[in-house]
Amino acid sequence: MNTADQILFLLKTRGPKTAQQLAEILDLTSMGTRRHLEAAQEKGLVHYADVAEKVGRPSRRWLLTEAGHARFPDRHADLTVQLIDQVRQLFGDAGMDKLITSREVASEAFYRETVGDAATPLPQRVAALAQARDGEGYMAEVEALPDGSLLLVENHCPICAAARACQNFCRSELEVFQRVLGPDCNVERTEHQLAGSRRCAYRIVPA
């Protein structure tokens, strides 16, 4: 991955960053990082917002544009949306619901096989679920929070176009995660891309 792509990847996975912050992560000079950002801006991949700080001058934070987000694949988005429309036309909403339910059942079975049972420590179960989701293109990772809970973060949604066309596609993720991880924890969604967040995130609290 070249430097320009690394910058886009960091903005995708870690959110808005200043040029100095990016330079420190990538071990580059601030000047060199700004050149890459300006080149990406000319291509329409990034833009910036000046954020007021408590003290001193506002900081310039760079973030991805829609075109920048589109650099990360959305699993044949156009074809998927066309197929959703055709299923609705041929089989109605009831047929669409059966299709989504079938997908949910298959996904849950795969996650159960991957995650293991309640004898496996919760952090390992969450890490295994994140690995499974990452393999499906969600750019998933786990963060340990100071209060002892875990945060399952999905920096990308490879079915975002489908979910926008039919929001039921992600209706049951929360319930599926809860069932797969087991009764010794509580799962809550704290961020949701379809609600305008940069990413989806789920907080997992030991019961």
Q: Give pLDDT, residue 193.
A: 85
For the chain, the domains span 3-69, 77-206
Q: Give pLDDT, residue 74.
A: 61
- Cross-strand partners of 50: 60
Q: Give pLDDT, residue 183.
A: 94
What's the pTM value of the predicted model, to 2 decimals? 0.68
Q: Give pLDDT, residue 142.
A: 96
Q: Give pLDDT, residue 66.
A: 81
Longest dimension (CA), the chain: 61
Name the DSSP class of 28. -
Taking only the tens place, the pLDDT of each residue in 1-40 is 789 989 998 998 888 899 999 999 999 999 999 999 999 9
Q: Beta strands 59-64 and 46-51: pairing type?
A: antiparallel
CA atoms within 13 A on the CB side of 66: 3
- Cross-strand partners of 144: 150
Taking only the tens place, the pLDDT of each residue in 148-176 is 999 999 998 877 766 666 677 777 788 89
CATH number of 3-69: 1.10.10.10
CATH number of 77-206: 3.30.1380
